[in-house]
Chains A and B, each alone.
Chain A
Amino acid sequence: MKKWTDDIVPRLLLLCFAVLPLVLGLGYALLYSFGIVGTLSTGVTTLYWAAAFRSGGLISSFVYSIYLSIVSICLCSFGGLWLACHMRDRLRQGILSYFIYLPMAFPAVVTAFFFLQFLSNAGFLSRVLYLLGWVHTAAAFPGLVNDRHDIGIIMAQFFSTLPVFVLLFLSVIENENLRGLTQIAQTLGAGSRQTWWRLTLPLLMKKSAPTLVLYFIFKLGSYEVPLLLGRSSPETISVLTVRKMQRFNLLDIPQGYAIAVLYAMVVMLLLIVSLKPSKQEAYV
């Protein structure tokens, strides 16, 4: 027996909480970036898009964000894979099974704040080294936040995402009955190296690929960590967008919306790539 609300309510909810915000938000950003709406509106113009591309901040920001995300995801994959394969039993029980997940209790802003206090020139690590007599002034400590090599950002991202990846690989190993498959392979005469490269790794990667892309998207949009630990230039996409929106020079605001639209398109592409072909859900 179907009631009239059975179909209406879910549709209404999806519309209200997913479709409408998206369509309205991106639609507004698109219109604003072409000068169609807004205080500065003077009719349709591609001026702001051209300016956004010309200023150089845009391209370098996308490249920089993609670079940071790839590095973080790769590091977390290596770390997670290594831990999941080498410490499987410890990660299932005992104290490690609690402590490994502790970073998940940290919101991004707290992670960023901690690494700021830990890695800066006058931070905790620098003081420990001073105590050991390795550095003699705060300035002598190699700057690890707001630094040229983005060590602060990458470490913070690694810290907060590693447990997610450990968990991911553990659950893939479990669900795909890797232990059984490995045994079969070895019974059939495969060496351990061969088993790893030909069986374990490809299987793990294939199964976790959608999640990896999903986390890549998350990292691409991260805000608090690069805001506090990054340099003043280049900036990540989120930081750049927000800064463009808040300038004394009001002509930068439409550029901010243009960047937002571009970012949303990139995310949509990535999402299509990650979710469509596998026809399966990521491990969220």
Chain B
Amino acid sequence: MSNGRPVTAFFVVVWCTVPAVVLLMLSFSAGWRFPLVLPASFTAGHWEDFFTGNSSDLQASCLVSLFIAAFVGGLATILGFGCSRWIASHRRKNLLLFIAYFPFVLSPVIFAVCLKYFFLRAGLAGNLAGVIFAQLIIAFPYSTIFLVSFWNNTIRNYVAVASTLGSGPAYINRHILLPAAKSFLLTCFFQCFMISWFEYGLTSVIGYGKVQTLTIKVFQFIGEANIYYAALSSCLLILPPVLLLWFNKKFVLQAAR
């Protein structure tokens, strides 16, 4: 009963894969005019443009996106780990978590228009530092919330046992907490990486269109009706998450909204 029919499974697979296949096809297409289902001709030209750096700075956008995402992911994980430990043992844990949830659930674009004034004042609009800071406002609370669940009773008991047996804090950190937290931290990093990689609202408002991440580029290509480049940049955007999914499902599963 819990296995379903193969036919149903087949349809689920089709539903989930068609978008990726169509986008990939479009990125290799030229002359996709109505009513052609397949394009008039297939071409590797758009991808060649990308790899030879000929395509409206897509390469640069790719690097900018990767850099921001890696930076935000790393910073959010490092800061969130320490902060979550503090919150987990705080007597007003629930209130603190509630506060952390709020920036994380607000619509990024609405949040951004409200914050734009302060980013301008601080000289943090339209530059990389500003975008990273803005994305941390979402990613840091997320990582804190996520990592709070690591500091459960089992972990606390391990620490208590170890210190009763005479282990110093450094030893506990290195030989008990870190090995136990490793997979949590890695997951948290990749999730924050993805939050940043997927971000559009905050980046477009705070980045002023000057910090051109891949999501910004997709919008730009849609705006100029350049569907082939839009499809290509879409493929670039879904590639890292797909790889992560293949590599370890856990890294991706909790990041998507």
Contacts and interface: CB of A to CB of B under 8 A. Distances in A.
A257 B141 CA distance: 24
6 contacts: A108-B200, A122-B34, A218-B105, A242-B113, A267-B105, A281-B97
Interface in A193-215: 214-215
A147 interface: no
Contact of B12 (A25, A99, A111): A99
Contacts of A7: 86
Given A24-B115, A96-B9, A96-B13, A104 B105 contact: no
A111 to B, nearest CB: 7
A53 interface: no
Contacts of B51: none
Interface of A: 1, 6-7, 9-10, 13-14, 17-19, 21-22, 24-26, 28-29, 83, 85-90, 95-111, 113-114, 116-118, 122, 124, 126-128, 130-131, 138, 159-161, 163-164, 167, 214-215, 217-218, 220-224, 228, 237-238, 241-242, 245, 256-257, 260, 263-264, 267-268, 271-272, 275-276, 279, 281, 284
B26 interface: yes
A69 B83 CA distance: 32
A109 B200 contact: yes
Interface string B218-253: 110010000100110010011001101110010011
Given A18-B140, A83-B12, A284-B142, A113 B222 contact: yes
Given A161-B257, A279-B94, 15 more contacts: A6-B86, A26-B114, A99-B16, A103-B256, A104-B253, A106-B256, A110-B23, A116-B222, A126-B34, A127-B36, A238-B107, A267-B106, A271-B101, A272-B98, A281-B148
Question: Which 10 A-B residue pairs are closest in the complex by CB-CB distance?
Answer: A221-B107, A105-B241, A25-B114, A104-B256, A87-B4, A107-B198, A10-B86, A88-B2, A122-B34, A130-B35
Contacts of A128: 37
A6 B36 CA distance: 64
B201 interface: yes
Given A10-B83, A25-B115, A106-B238, A101 B4 contact: no
Contacts of A22: 99, 102-103
A87 B3 contact: yes
Contacts of B52: none
Given A86-B4, A245-B113, A260-B110, A117 B103 contact: no
A279 B241 CA distance: 33
A18 B200 contact: no
SS class, residues of chain B in contact with chain A: helix
B37 A14 contact: no
Contact of B145 (A101, A110, A281): A281
A110 B96 contact: no
Interface of B: 1-4, 8-9, 12-13, 15-20, 22-23, 26, 34-37, 79, 82-83, 86-87, 94, 96-103, 105-111, 113-115, 117-118, 136-137, 140-142, 144-146, 148-149, 169, 197-198, 200-201, 215, 218-219, 222, 227, 230-231, 234, 237-238, 241-242, 244-246, 249, 252-257
Contacts, number: 253
Contact of B238 (A96, A105, A164): A105
Contacts of B94: 275, 279
A98 B97 contact: no
B118 A25 contact: yes
Nearest to B107: A221
Contacts of B103: 17-18, 21-22
B192 to A, nearest CB: 12
Given A110-B234, A167-B253, A21 B137 contact: yes
A4 to B, nearest CB: 14
B257 A218 contact: yes
B253 A237 contact: no
Given A17-B141, A221-B106, A260-B113, A90 B257 contact: no
